[in-house]
Amino acid sequence: MIELDYRSKKPIYEQIIESIKLQILQGYLKPGDAIPSVRGMAKDLGVTPSTVAKAYQEMERQQVIETIRAKGTFIAAQPVTETLPLDREKIRCNLRSELIELKRAKVSKEMVLQMIGEIYDAI
Amino acid sequence: MIELDYRSKKPIYEQIIESIKLQILQGYLKPGDAIPSVRGMAKDLGVTPSTVAKAYQEMERQQVIETIRAKGTFIAAQPVTETLPLDREKIRCNLRSELIELKRAKVSKEMVLQMIGEIYDAI
Amino acid sequence: MIELDYRSKKPIYEQIIESIKLQILQGYLKPGDAIPSVRGMAKDLGVTPSTVAKAYQEMERQQVIETIRAKGTFIAAQPVTETLPLDREKIRCNLRSELIELKRAKVSKEMVLQMIGEIYDAI
Amino acid sequence: MIELDYRSKKPIYEQIIESIKLQILQGYLKPGDAIPSVRGMAKDLGVTPSTVAKAYQEMERQQVIETIRAKGTFIAAQPVTETLPLDREKIRCNLRSELIELKRAKVSKEMVLQMIGEIYDAI
DNA sequence: GTGGTCTAGACCACG
DNA sequence: GTGGTCTAGACCACG
């Protein structure tokens, strides 16, 4: 199941994507597993189908899921392991933004690394 | 100087804030240093004064800069070092989103920690 | 409804904020209640949407209201009760300014306390 | 002497007025006492003469001070004790704004009255 | 439809 | 000149 935070500034469709990816990482969802149809998940989550459709389209583009015509949508066989240089750059940039805030708050490198380690393990 | 990336999804006013904070962290801007007037920076950057004003107001709220009555705007004497719990939570959440992507790309914890360390040092 | 005083020196957006806060205190608005959209209230009040947007953004920052993704804006669940020390100091300073005027007008301490009590109760 | 807070949002000329009034209330300045010339005070405070002139004009209007041609400026003979209904209304309105914030912060009536009493006594 | 961002101006109080 | 407020519009992402 997916829990949405409507109060968050993070778009709903991104929350859906993040949640699915997380469940894959954590092993709750495995390659070949079926996930609900766009309409089904929209109903479950109480959002409009187009929001779910947007999330699915984006995940399909990223080869996280696969849609097999008339059969449904499934977790993709093998998650691609390489990130595109462009995405890599985006991640670096976003991380940097957060690290600027932490460094501004005088959080030491050691504290940051510890924190990152914890988050990484908890994923 | 500030370099803007108009292609970025990050709003101009946020880019201005991040750039100023970065320059403070890197020592290019020190407490008491004057920064350009709203109109001056707007002209420099080729954006409307309201965009710069929005950035300045946000930074003043965060006590990054101080406006002194008709004398100009200055880097605040002593940046407050405590982050609000709420902001802290937001940072954690944003970091997590990026780490999910890295873990998905099979980037090991060691690699992530190394990368974070580098970014932290480079700030 | 909100009544604006265009002759007042108090900015429109601040009047909107004060009015909403007052209605919450008086129980006319309760946590979870919807308030008009930015555009809706702008039309009601006869001001430009950006003025209302500014008021809403400030109230969101103060956790007075919450914006829920494309569903609207609502009175926040539980107003935070702690004031920041800095805000507290500002309130003290503003109160002092007014009390100086009252003391100058030879209004006795008893009269002032009575007056304050009345205003407090009437809120 | 007058201490100005350039960081404050309160205009310099208002700070000057408040300071003079305070010194009168506290007995440091008595009716008939001379106060510096506009230029003299401007030099003392490090502000432009027009700022001091604005403060003096306003105080003269309020009969706080008197300017005697070619002799200088003096604390007025007897401070007027009645406030104009309009000013009274303004004070009430400003007090109300601050009290709304205090009530929002769940500061009890007793606490507020105590706080007001302290400030009043300290003036 | 909704809020967020941005433009291009105007006016104002302050100094 | 300076920042703060406001108007009247535009465009965009999100849902």
Task: Tell me which residues from 33 to 92 on chain C have a beta carbon below 7 angstroms from nucleic acid strand E.
Answer: 37-40, 50, 53, 56-57, 60, 67, 70, 72-73
Task: Tell me the pLDDT tens digit for each residue of D25-72.
Answer: 999 999 999 999 999 999 999 999 999 999 999 999 999 999 998 899
Tell me the percentage of chain A whose pLDDT exceeds 90.
83
pLDDT of D79 higher than 70: no
- C20 pLDDT higher than 90: yes
Output the pLDDT for position C71: 83
Residue B79's pLDDT is 66
Which residue's CA is nearest to the C1' of nucleotide E13?
Answer: D11
User: Which residue of chain B is at minimal alpha-carbon distance from A107?
Assistant: B81
- C-beta of residue D52 within 8 angstroms of C-beta of residue D45: yes
Of residues B63 and A83, more confidently modeled: B63
Taking the C-alpha atoms of residue A16 and residue A30, their distance in angstroms, rounded to an integer, is 17
Q: Would the pTM of this model clear 0.85, i.e. be above it?
A: yes
- Stronger pLDDT, D83 or B88, i.e. the higher one: B88
pLDDT, position C80: 66
Helix (H) / strand (E) element for B66: namely strand B65-68
Q: Is the dihedral of CA B56, B57, B60, B61 positive or negative?
A: negative
Architecture of domain D12-75: Orthogonal Bundle (1.10)
pLDDT at D87: 82
Per-residue pLDDT at A94: 95
Least confident of A4-8, B85-89, C20-24, D36-40: B85-89
Q: Is the CB of B13 under 7 A from strand F?
A: no
pLDDT at residue D86 is higher than 90: no
Q: Is the pLDDT of residue D14 over 80?
A: yes
Q: Tokens 């993704």 sit at which residue?
A: C69
* Whether D and B touch (3+ CB pairs < 8 Å), yes or no: yes
Window 48-87 of chain A: CB closer than 7 A to strand F: 48, 50-51, 54
Q: Note whether A63 and A25 are within 8 A (CB).
A: no
Residues of A with CB under 8 A from a CB of C: 6-7, 11-12
Nearest nucleotide from residue D15 CA, by C1' atom = E14
**pLDDT (mean) for B5-32:** 95
In the 8-37 segment of chain D, residues within 7 Å (Cβ) of strand E are 11-14
How high is the pLDDT of residue B78? 74
Using pLDDT thresholds of 50, 70 and 90, give the confidence band for residue A80.
low
Averaged pLDDT, A67-74: 92
Domain boundaries, chain D: 12-75, 85-122
Query: B94: which residues sit within 8 A by CB, 6+ positions away?
Result: A94, A97, A98
Helix axes A12-25, A38-45, angle to 10 degrees: 110
Q: What are the pLDDT digits (tens) for C84-116?
A: 777 899 999 999 999 999 998 889 999 999 999
Say yes or no for a CB contact (<8 Å) between B95 and A104: no
Q: Could you tell me which residues of chain D have a Cβ less than 8 Å from any Cβ in chain C?
A: 10, 18, 21-22, 24-25, 79, 81-83, 87, 91-92, 94-106, 109, 112-113, 115-117, 119-121, 123
pLDDT in tens, B70-107: 788 999 987 667 777 778 999 999 999 999 999 998 89
Q: In chain B, whose CA is at the least distance from the CA of D11?
A: B69
Taking 90 as the threshold, does the pLDDT of residue C1 lie above it? no
- Half-sphere exposure at residue A60, Cβ-oriented, CA atoms within 13 angstroms: 14
pLDDT band at C79 (very low <50, low <70, confident <90, very high): low
* DSSP, residue by residue, A75-107: E-SS---PPPHHHHHHHHHHHHHHHHHHHHTT-
Q: What pLDDT, on a 0 to 100 scale, did the predictor assign at position B84?
A: 76
